[in-house]
Amino acid sequence: MVVPGWVWALTIAAIVGLLAFDFFFHVRKAHVPTLKEAAIWSALYVGIAVLFGIGVLIFGGVDPGGEYFAGYITEKALSVDNLFVFLIIISSFRVPREDQQKVLLFGIVFSLIARTGFIFLGAALINTFAWVFYAFGLILLITAGNMLAPNNSDSETADNFIIRLARKLFHTTEHYDGDKLFTTVDGKRAMTPMLLVMVAIGGTDILFALDSIPAIFGLTQNVYIVFTATAFSLLGLRQLYFLIDGLLDRLIYLSYGLAAILAFIGVKLILHALHENNVPFINDGEPVTVVEVSTGLSLSVIIGVLVVTVVASLFSKRGTAQTAIANARRHARAYLDSEYTSSAEERERIFKALLRERDQILALGPKYRQLVRDEDALIELLDRAAAKHDEAVDRGEAEPFTSKGLTAP
């Protein structure tokens, strides 16, 4: 599918326009998006991506259209997995709820720029060196293996080397000043955590690009399709974060599904490399007769694996328990943090969610209660949140609820 320059120009202008619209009409004014707002705009961005794919089917043909949808679905799934890391970074830096949208939008823009660079670099390498398909295939197989490795609890931090270095070299403050990157403390100019969290997200975006770009090149080598599928998968990611906030921990099998998809694409890349082989030490530099995976089969496998893993996660009792425990700990910390939000409505929403999660934890049987790491600390955390809410009720700043701690019957 040959794409003329004016189509490229219109596409890039449309994507930049959507990002600008997102900033000026939704993100510029700090606020906490409602569930309805997040749902409407998430559906709108998915609808735009689907309509674009239909356009590719009509004007480009069945094969390019199938490649676009396979790439879009894969990149979207990887983007959802990336939200787990964004959640860890945002929680680690205690980003105020009202300002989380700006942090996420920055991450999306930076990710789009970084991935665009990797896309053109990858295309140049593929056109110059046929062995790159072998390299991309191995990268995806290694990534799939890493996804299956157990996570270490120490990994749940955004305090990486770059952040520690920044704290040592520059005067930093522990407190936010709205969405400002710099502020003045005791007459001295200092960096706010807002700049540090953006650095952390920008660094992780580069790592994400190293995984996602080889994956989509395994589905199509058309640079226009790679670019648009990647861009549309990132657009709407901010709204999706607030839409599924609290459900991310529920997708306990998503990493297994993504590992299977990346391994499948990795094998497909290696088969393609063998089919186009010109590496001297493999079959004397001659192509190897192998079965190549069609676009239709790729799309079917990707959709099938995602449906199975998501449905299995949603119906998993372990997933329900793990979600309640993780969210209770996160919501209790947020409620106790006086800087987390200035919205009384948002604080009430957090506390109501905390009560629901407390009830879910109390209803856990012995098998799933064991998932609570450091249970005494969680009990103390929830009791502190309950006590703080009772104080707010006494001052007339909150509605009364049954706010017993985790040990309630």
pLDDT 10s digits, 173-201: 877 887 788 888 877 888 888 888 888 88
179 and 292 part of one domain: yes
pLDDT at 62: 92
Same domain assignment for residues 269 and 348 = no
Residue 64 lies in a domain: yes
Confidence of residue 15 (pLDDT cuts 50, 70, 90): very high
Block residue for tokens 């110059």: 128
Rounded to 10 degrees, the C-alpha dihedral 246/250/253/258 comes to: -20
The structure tokens listed for 384 are 């502190």
Q: Quick one: pLDDT at residue 303? A: 93
Check if the beta carbon of residue 348 is closer than 8 Å to that of residue 398.
yes
Q: What amino acid occupies position 153?
A: S
330 and 192 assigned to the same domain? no
pLDDT per residue as tens digits for the range 352-379: 888 888 888 777 777 776 776 667 788 8
Is residue 406 situated within a structural domain?
no
Return mean pLDDT, the chain. 84
Check whether residue 237 and residue 121 sit in a common domain: yes
Considering the domain architecture, whether residues 195 and 298 belong to the same structural domain is answered as yes
399 within domain boundaries = no
19 lies in the same domain as 159: yes
Structural element, H or E, at residue 15: helix 5-22
Average pLDDT of the residues in 16-40: 87
Contact predicate 138/264, CB 8 Å: no
Domain count for the chain: 2
Angle at which helices 254-275 and 295-314 cross, to 10°: 170
**Residue 41 within a domain:** yes
Residues 6 or more apart whose Cβ sits within 8 Å of residue 76: 233
Distance CA 195, CA 212 (A): 25
Which ranges of 277-316 does DSSP label H, i.e. alpha helix?
A: 295-314
Q: How far is CA 15 from the centre of its chain?
A: 19
Of 70 and 250, the one with more pLDDT: 70
**One domain for residues 328 and 308:** no
pLDDT of 230: 94
Question: Can you give the residue range of the structural domain that contains 267?
Answer: 3-313
Same domain, 210 and 89: yes
pLDDT tens column, 59-102 = 999 999 999 999 999 999 888 877 877 887 888 788 888 888 88
CA distances for 306 relative to 83, 87, 258, angstroms:
16, 21, 8
Over the stretch 316-359, which tens digit does the pLDDT of each residue have? 888 888 888 888 888 888 888 877 888 888 888 888 888 888 88
Alpha-carbon distances, residue 78 vs 72, 74, 234 (angstroms): 10, 6, 10
**Percent of the chain with pLDDT strictly greater than 70:** 91
In a domain, 332, yes or no: yes
234 lies in the same domain as 321: no
Indicate whether 154 pLDDT > 50. Answer: no
Q: Are residues 308 and 386 in the same domain?
A: no
Out of 313, 348, 383, a domain closes at: 313
Q: Using CA atoms, how far apart are residues 184 and 172, in angstroms rounded to an integer? A: 10
CA distance 219 to 305: 16
Confidence of residue 151 (pLDDT cuts 50, 70, 90): low
Last-in-domain residue among 254, 282, 313: 313
In-domain check, residue 350: yes
User: Do residue 201 and residue 337 come from a single domain?
Assistant: no
**Residue 104 token pair:** 């996420």
Q: Are residues 86 and 122 in the same domain?
A: yes
| Residue-wise pLDDT tens digits, 198-228 | 888 887 778 778 778 889 998 998 999 999 9
Per-residue model confidence (pLDDT) at position 54: 96
Provide, rounded to the nearest whole percent, the portion of the chain with pLDDT above 90.
24
